[in-house]
Structure 1
C-alpha cells in the first residue's frame, strides 16, 4: 500500500521475483487498502505510514479490530522512534525504513 505509483510498482516487481512471494493486490490509499485486505486477506501487507484518506496506523488498527489475520509491515520513509512506536502500538508486525 503506497500512494506513489512508481515506488509501489517497483516494490511489487521486486517481490514478484522471489519464488516465495506472491503479490496478490495493491492499493494507493488507506480506505482502498482496507478494501483489498478485507477481500484478499493476504498473509502480509506492506503499508506506508503516510497515506491519503487514512494513515497506515489507522489502517492497522482497523485490521486488528476486525481480527483480520494479515500481518502488517510498515515500509516507510519515516525512521523516527515516535513513528515506529506508534506503528507497533497500532499492531504492526514489523517496521522498515525505505532508506535501508
Structure 2
C-alpha cells in the first residue's frame, strides 16, 4: 500500500484528491496538511511514501518546505501538484529536491500512475512542465569553471583568510593570489570577495 500525504490549503481540493486517490487500488491517503510547515511535521510523524505538495499556500511556501524535508533526509518522495507552471516555480521546485511536478488538471488514472511511478523512484513531470524545463536547461548560461588552484583560493577566502595568509598556506606569492582572485571575479562576474564566495556556493563550485 502506497501511503500518501496531501498538502494543499484548500479543503475542497484535499477532499477531492482524497476521494480520487483512495478509489485507486494500492493507494491510501494517510494525512492532510493545509500549509508547508504542517506538511513537514506530518511527513516526519507519519512517514508517508509520497507527499503531494501545492506550491503557494499561506503560512509557508511549498518550495521552502520541499527543501527542508529534503535536507532532513526524509525518505518520502515529494511531488508538486499545483495549478502554476511558471519557469521560476518549476526550477525552484526541482532544485529544492522535488521528485516531480504535476498539474491539477490531470485525470485520476494519470495522477495515480504518476504517484506509483514516483514511489518507484522515477521523475514524474506533466508534459508541458517537461517542455518548459528542457527549454530552461537549454538556455541556462553555462556554469563557470574554476581551476583547482582557484577553487583552493576561494575556499580559503570563505574561511576568512587574507591574501597574505592564502599565499603562505598555498606556498605562492601574495601577488599570485591577487591574480587568482581577479580571475575568479571575472569568471563569476562579481567585484568583491563576499560576492565571489556566495556565487560559488550557489552554483555548487565549492
Question: Hey, what does 2:31 align to over in structure 1?
Answer: 25
Say if 2:76 is the partner of 1:70: yes
- CA apart distance, 1:76: 0.4
Q: Which has the higher helix share?
A: 2
Task: Return structure 1 stretches of 4+ with deviation > 2 angstroms.
Answer: none
Name stretches of at least 5 consecutive residues in structure 2 with no aligned partner: 1-6, 107-206
- CA apart distance, 1:30: 1.2
Name stretches of at least 5 consecutive residues in structure 1 with no aligned partner: none
Matches within 5 A, 1:84-95: 84-95=90-101
Say if 2:86 is the partner of 1:83: no
Q: Deviations over 1:17-46 (max 9, x none)?
A: 011111111110111111110101111000
d(CA) in 2 for partners of 1:54 and 1:69?
21
Aligned-pair RMSD on alpha carbons? 0.9
Higher relative contact order, structure no. (Cα contacts within 8 Å, ≥ 6 residues apart): 1
- CA apart distance, 1:99: 3.0
Say if 2:58 is the partner of 1:52: yes
Question: Hey, what does 1:39 align to over in structure 2?
Answer: 45
- CA apart distance, 1:83: 0.8
Q: TM-score, normalised by structure 1?
A: 0.95
Count of aligned pairs: 100
d(CA) in 2 for partners of 1:80 and 1:32?
25
